[in-house]
């Protein structure tokens, strides 16, 4: 489905700001109405006090520290969960608490979150308290099991809460009904960071650091972890999240970061001194996620917690190898998924693409189905669920796990909630966000689920059609088509989900074209004034480009291309349409 190129509307009356003229327009295009929202200073972070139950959670933690009781952190098997876990461990240790450990459920043995089974594992070390990070909001049974064993539970999470909350000692989640915290978009690592801010304030109030003769830790020292987890989890970068991310990036660029983050960037061949959010999204995140997808996320957490550079590098190399394996598995699964979709489309009489796709292959790897769903979603601009067997070692297993990705305008987690209310026998469990969700069900209900999913999507559409829009900031004036502009834009963010990198559209003559890497094309484009600029487009159709192309319309991002120490302007093409 070809997108419709739509230009963002620039407000007629821009906010007062004496900065760069192009940036002024771009910021206004993204909803900035006050120059204060461009102030990334830590003093402008939202205070923790409006987060529901945070004082209670801090008090429970303080009691455990005071009485030296054992605390177990239960994390999640993605980058947000890994950074949240590492953050909790490091900061509690900096506060002087050593009687603690962490657990991350192996997705293949325990599934997601604080299940009763993972509580039993945690109970073997006799903890007084379990703290969940990036999970727990939908784990009623796990919390009940902990309560039965006499273990208190603090849930810190950011996922949308179910109607019935777990009976935890305290729940800290900005998305709780009635919660007054202005930012509802924090990642799990952001919620954990805010709880630790509240705990630090409690410890200062109780003269903890003076009594224990410990320096008061500067919480900014852990913002590298917060930045990595926030960007990798693709939460909306509202102004509070941008401040957290920008401050973390500044510290990474200065080398003030975990040695594990440093070595992950080195393994990915990224320049630590010029790191951007996209480097986190495409270099650090996938390598950490690969551990949770294919093996055990504890490898990623150990890398983040490593103090020794040799150990960190060894773990970073292991994560890099896991990521290469993940890419191979994903590539094969993606081709199989595309074949399923093409077979389905060929059997339809209508040219209209279905409201959603539900894809299943018993041979697929359950740790990679979310990535496959994302790729198919991007290709067809429809919500997609990809499913795999829950237990690969049991040929008789009929339980399957699915991971879904959505498109703008369809709240996928709400769709699952509607299905669960209307057809309560279909879904075993579910959870997630507007754009991504997961669920479990029995294979015999897959077709019924697909039918119900289409109904739920149609209800949300309300008669509207899917509209694949590609937003552009308009045509870039030739005076801004320069390496200097690309460098300014690179550092002007942080850009990310909900605050996208600037992109522009325009028509260009094609001076030269060359297929590289079988599926990519390198171009030299010319403006009407004759100015020439390098450009590259990935994953094109080689058959189309086997002919000479004379003119194109493109949506692109100006980027800095570095080769053998030399920098040049290169247009990174997001969409290309051949005109002649």
Find the CATH number of the domain harbouring 493.
Answer: 2.40.50.460
Q: Does 162 share its domain with 299? A: yes
Whether the Cβ atoms of residue 349 and residue 388 lie closer than 8 Å to each other: no
pLDDT at residue 1 in the model: 62
Last residue of a domain, one of 269, 297, 321: 321
Residues 463 and 488 in one domain: no
Within-domain flag for 274:
yes
pLDDT of residue 488: 95
Residue in this structure with the two tokens 């290709």, named with its chain if needed: 379
Same domain, yes or no: 462 and 482: no
Residue 490 and residue 428 share a domain: no
Q: Are 424 and 447 in contact (CB under 8 A)?
A: no
Residues of the chain below pLDDT 50 = none
Quick check: 186 and 43 in contact, CB under 8 A?
no
- The verdict on residue 132 lying in a domain is yes
Same domain, 413 and 514: no
Q: Is residue 542 part of a domain?
A: yes
User: How far apart are the C-alpha atoms of 279 and 275, rounded to whole Å?
Assistant: 6
422-438 confidence digits (pLDDT tens): 999 999 988 888 888 99
Residue range(s) defining the domain that contains residue 370: 336-467
Judgement on whether residues 454 and 480 belong to the same structural domain of the protein:
no
In a domain, 15, yes or no: no
- Among 443, 467, 491, the domain-final residue is 467
Residue 196 and residue 219 in contact, taking contact as beta carbons nearer than 8 Å: yes
Counting the structural domains of the chain, the total is 3
Q: Which of 433, 467, 501 is the last residue of a domain?
A: 467
Query: What's the rounded Cα separation, in Å, for the pair 216 and 346?
Result: 65
286 and 250 in a common domain: yes
CATH of the domain at 454: 3.10.310.30
Task: Take residue 531 and report the two structure tokens written for it.
Answer: 């100015």
Judgement on whether residues 283 and 306 belong to the same structural domain of the protein: yes
Residue 371 lies in a domain: yes
* pLDDT score, position 285: 95
Q: Is residue 13 in some structural domain?
A: no
pTM of the entire structure?
Answer: 0.91
The span from the first CA to the last CA of the chain, in angstroms, equals 20
Q: What is the pLDDT of residue 350?
A: 65
Based on the fold, state whether residues 159 and 294 are members of the same structural domain. yes
How far is the CA of 52 from the CAs of 133, 234, 317, 555, in angstroms?
Answer: 16, 24, 41, 43
245 plus 271 within the same structural domain: yes
């Amino acid at each position: 489905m070809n997108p419709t190129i739509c230009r963002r509307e620039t407000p007629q009356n821009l906010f007062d700001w004496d900065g760069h003229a192009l940036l002024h327009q771009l910021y206004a295009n993204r909803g900035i109405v006050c120059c204060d929202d461009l102030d990334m200073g830590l003093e402008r972070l939202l205070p923790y006090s409006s987060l529901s139950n945070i004082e209670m959670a801090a008090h429970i933690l303080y009691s455990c520290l005071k009485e030296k009781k054992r605390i177990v952190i239960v994390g999640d098997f993605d980058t947000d969960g890994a950074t949240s876990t590492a953050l909790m461990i490091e900061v509690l240790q900096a506060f002087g608490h050593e009687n603690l450990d962490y657990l991350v459920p192996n997705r293949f043995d325990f599934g997601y979150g604080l299940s009763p089974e993972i509580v039993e594992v945690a109970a073997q070390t006799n903890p007084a308290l379990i703290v969940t990070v990036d999970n727990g909001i939908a784990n009623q049974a796990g919390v009940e099991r902990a309560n039965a064993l006499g273990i208190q539970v603090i849930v810190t999470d950011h996922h949308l809460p179910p109607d019935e909350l777990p009976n935890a000692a305290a729940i800290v989640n900005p998305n709780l009904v009635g919660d007054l915290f202005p930012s509802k978009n924090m990642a799990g690592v952001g919620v954990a960071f805010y709880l630790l801010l509240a705990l630090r304030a409690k410890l200062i109030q109780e003269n903890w650091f003076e009594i224990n003769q410990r320096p008061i830790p500067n919480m900014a020292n852990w913002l590298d972890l917060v930045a990595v987890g926030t960007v990798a989890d693709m939460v909306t970068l509202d102004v509070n999240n941008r401040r957290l991310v920008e401050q973390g990036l500044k510290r990474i660029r200065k080398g003030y970061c975990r040695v594990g983050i440093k070595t992950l960037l080195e393994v990915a061949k990224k320049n630590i001194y010029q790191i951007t959010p996209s480097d986190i999204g495409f270099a650090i995140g996938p390598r950490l996620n690969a551990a949770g997808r294919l093996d055990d996320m504890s490898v990623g957490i150990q890398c983040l917690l490593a103090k020794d550079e040799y150990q960190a590098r060894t773990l970073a190399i292991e994560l890099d190898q896991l990521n290469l394996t993940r890419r191979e598995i994903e590539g094969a699964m993606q081709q199989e998924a595309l074949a399923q979709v093409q077979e389905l489309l060929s059997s339809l009489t209508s040219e209209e693409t279905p409201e959603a796709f539900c894809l299943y292959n018993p041979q697929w790897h359950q740790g990679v189905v979310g990535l496959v769903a994302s790729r198919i979603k991007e290709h067809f601009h429809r919500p997609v669920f990809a499913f795999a067997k829950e237990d690969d070692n049991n040929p008789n297993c009929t339980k399957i796990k699915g991971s879904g990705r959505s498109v703008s305008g369809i709240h996928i987690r709400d769709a699952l909630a509607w299905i669960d209310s209307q057809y309560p026998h279909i879904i075993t469990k579910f959870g997630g966000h507007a754009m991504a969700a997961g669920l479990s069900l029995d294979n015999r209900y897959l077709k019924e689920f697909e039918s119900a999913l289409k109904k739920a999507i149609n209800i949300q559409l309300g008669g509207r059609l899917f509209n694949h829009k590609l937003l552009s900031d308009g045509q870039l004036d030739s005076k801004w088509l320069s390496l200097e502009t690309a460098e300014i834009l690179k550092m002007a963010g942080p850009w990310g989900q909900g605050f996208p990198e600037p992109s522009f559209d325009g028509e260009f003559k094609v001076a030269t074209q060359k297929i590289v890497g079988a599926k990519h094309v390198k171009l030299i484009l010319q403006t009407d004034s004759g100015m020439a600029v390098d450009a590259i487009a990935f994953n094109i159709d080689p058959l189309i480009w086997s002919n000479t192309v004379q003119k194109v319309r493109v949506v692109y991002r100006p980027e800095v291309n570095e080769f053998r120490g030399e920098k040049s302007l290169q247009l990174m093409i997001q969409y290309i349409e051949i005109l002649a």
